[in-house]
A and B are shown apart, each in its own frame.
Chain A
Amino acid sequence: MIVLRFHRELYRGTSLDETVKLFARHATFALREEQDAWVVELSADTPDRERRIAGELGNYALGLTIKAGGAGVDANATAARSANPS
C-alpha cells in the first residue's frame, strides 16, 4: 500500500476527487482528510504497479489543480493559522 499526502495549499480537493474517480478501476483507493492535507491510500496488485499508479495520480491531480487555477487556498492565511491555532 502507498500513502500519498497532498497538501491543501498546493492541491485542490475537487481535483483530487476527480482524479481518484478516474483511476478507480486501476487500484483500490481510500481517502481521508487531515488538518493540512488530503490523504490517499492506494493498493494495487504489485508494488511496481502501485508506484506507477501513484505517480500518474499525482501528476494528474497536479495538472487538474493547475488548470483550475491553483489550490484556491490562501497560503499566508493557512500559515498564520497553523502558527497560531487559537
Chain B
Amino acid sequence: MTQPLVDGFPADLCTVQVDGTSIALHVESNLYPLGALYGAAYIFIDRCYVLLGRPDPTHYRVTLAWKKGAPPEGMLRELAGEFMNELLSCAWRAKINEESRSIIEAVTAQAFAGAMGPPSLDDLEKFDFSEEAFEDPLGIAMSWEEKYGKKKAAQAKDDEAAAKTPDTTAPDAASAEAAKPEAP
C-alpha cells in the first residue's frame, strides 16, 4: 500500500508504504548525501528499528519499524515526517560543513604549526619582522631603547646642534669690540 506522505507532498520524491508496524520512505540520493542519511538514521535508532536499502542507483529506501507492539494511530506517519525533517537538516549541515572545510583546515594547520615548538635560527633569519602584526597605541610592545633611549639621543643631538649655532639674539662680540673707545 503506497501513498503520499502528506497532501501536496510530491509523490515521486518521497512515498510511504504503511505496512502495519513499519513505514518505508524512498528518497532521492542526488538530493540527500549518504552522510546526511546516516546522520538522520542514527538519531532515530533509539526510537525505532532503522533499515537502509538501495532499490536503485538513484534512490535510498529507509524502513522505520515500530519497536514494541502496534504503533498508535498516525504515529508511523509522524515518525516519517520527523525523519524527513531531520534528513533535510542533516543535508544542510553537511553542505555547510563542506563549504567551511577549507577554513577549518587552515586554522587547524596554523594551530599545529604553532604547537611544533620554537622556531629554529634559520626560521628566525627568514622571518620578516618589518610587518607590524598589530596596533600598539600605548607603546607596550616598544623596547626601552625605542621608547626612551633614542628619544634622549635625538634630544642630545639637537642640543649639540643648538650649541654650535651662533646666537643671533646675543650681542655681537666684534661689534662690541668696535664700539669700544680707542685707547689714547
Q: Which residues of A contact B (CB under 8 A)?
A: 4-5, 7, 9-11, 36, 52, 54-56, 58-59, 62-63, 65-66, 70, 75, 79, 82-83
CB distance A55 to B52 under 8 Å?
no
Q: Which residue of B lies closest to A79 (CB)?
A: B57
B41 on interface, CB distance cutoff 8 Å: yes
CB distance A63 to B57 under 8 Å?
no
In angstroms, Cα B62 to Cα A60, docked, is 16
Contacts of A65 in B (CB 8 A): 38
- List 18 additional A-B contacts (Cβ < 8 Å) besides A55-B49, A58-B50, A59-B49: A4-B51, A7-B53, A9-B54, A11-B52, A55-B67, A56-B49, A58-B51, A59-B45, A62-B41, A62-B50, A63-B42, A66-B42, A70-B34, A70-B35, A70-B38, A75-B29, A75-B34, A79-B57
Q: Which residue of A lies closest to B65 (CB)?
A: A55
Contacts of B41 in A (CB 8 A): 62, 66
Contacts between chains A and B (CB distance < 8 A), count: 47
Number of B interface residues in the complex (CB < 8 A)? 17
Contacts of A58 in B (CB 8 A): 49-51
In angstroms, Cα B45 to Cα A56, docked, is 9
Contacts of B65 in A (CB 8 A): 55
Q: Which residue of B lies closest to A57 (CB)?
A: B49
Contacts of B38 in A (CB 8 A): 62, 65-66, 70
Q: Which residue of A lies closest to B38 (CB)?
A: A66
Closest CB of chain A to B142's CB: distance in Å? 52
Closest CB of chain A to B63's CB: distance in Å? 9
Contacts of B50 in A (CB 8 A): 58-59, 62
Contacts of A36 in B (CB 8 A): 54
Mask of B60-87 contacts with A, CB within 8 angstroms, 1/0: 1000010100000000000000000000
